Chains A and B, each alone.
Chain A
Amino acid sequence: MKIDYSLITRRRFLNTLFGGWLTAFSAGALYAVGKFAFPTLGKEPDFVVLKAADYMNLAPNTTKLFAWGGKPGIFFRKADGAILAIKGVCTHMECNVTYKPAERKFYCACHQGWFDENGQNIKGPPPKPLEIFVHTIEGDKLIVARKGVKVELPKA
Chain B
Amino acid sequence: MNFRRLKNWFTDRYDFSDLVKLAQSKTVPVHSGDFLYYTGGMILFLIGLQFITGMILAFYYVPHPDFAHKSIVEIVTKLHLGWFFRSFHHWGAQLTLLFLFIHLFGTLLVKSYRKPREFIWFTGFILLGILIFFGLSGYLLLWDERALAGVKVATGGVKALPLVGTFLMAFLRGGVDVTGETLTRFYAFHVAVLPLVTLFLIGLHVLLVQYHGMSIPLREEKNNPASIPFFPNVFYHDLIVWLLLLGVTVTLAVFFPPEIGIKADPLAPTPENIKPEWYFLFVFQTLKLFPGEILGLNGEVIAILLIVTAMGLLFLLPLFDKKSSRGEASPLFTWISVGYIAYIVTMTIVGYLS
- Main SS class of interface, A: helix
Please tell me the number of chain A residues within 8 Å of chain B, measured between CB atoms. 7
Q: How far is the CA of A72 from the CA of B172 in the complex (A)?
A: 43
B-side contacts of A36, CB under 8 Å = 56, 79-82, 85
Nearest opposing residue in chain B for A32, CB measure: B81
- Main SS class of interface, B: helix
Interface residue? B59 (CB, 8 A): yes
Chain A 24-41, CB-CB to B under 8 Å as 1, else 0, gives: 000000001101110101
Chain B 211-224, CB-CB to A under 8 Å as 1, else 0, gives: 00000000000000
A-side contacts of B59, CB under 8 Å = 37
Interface residue? B78 (CB, 8 A): yes
8 A Cβ contacts from B62-83 to A = 78-82
A-side contacts of B52, CB under 8 Å = 33
Nearest opposing residue in chain B for A35, CB measure: B80
Q: How far is the CA of A114 from the CA of B168 in the complex (A)?
A: 60
Nearest opposing residue in chain A for B82, CB measure: A36
| Pairwise interchain contact B56-A33, C-beta atoms closer than 8 A | yes
Nearest opposing residue in chain B for A40, CB measure: B80
Q: How far is the CA of A32 from the CA of B250 in the complex (A)?
A: 13
| A125–chain B nearest beta-carbon distance, Å | 33
| B242–chain A nearest beta-carbon distance, Å | 12
Q: How far is the CA of A37 from the CA of B287 in the complex (A)?
A: 43
Q: How far is the CA of A36 from the CA of B79 in the complex (A)?
A: 6
Could you list 11 A-B pairs, sorted by A, with CB under 8 Å?
A32-B80, A32-B81, A32-B84, A33-B56, A35-B80, A36-B79, A36-B80, A36-B82, A37-B59, A41-B78, A41-B79
Sort A-B residue pairs by CB-CB distance and give the 7 closest, nearest first.
Answer: A35-B80, A37-B56, A36-B80, A36-B81, A32-B81, A36-B79, A39-B80
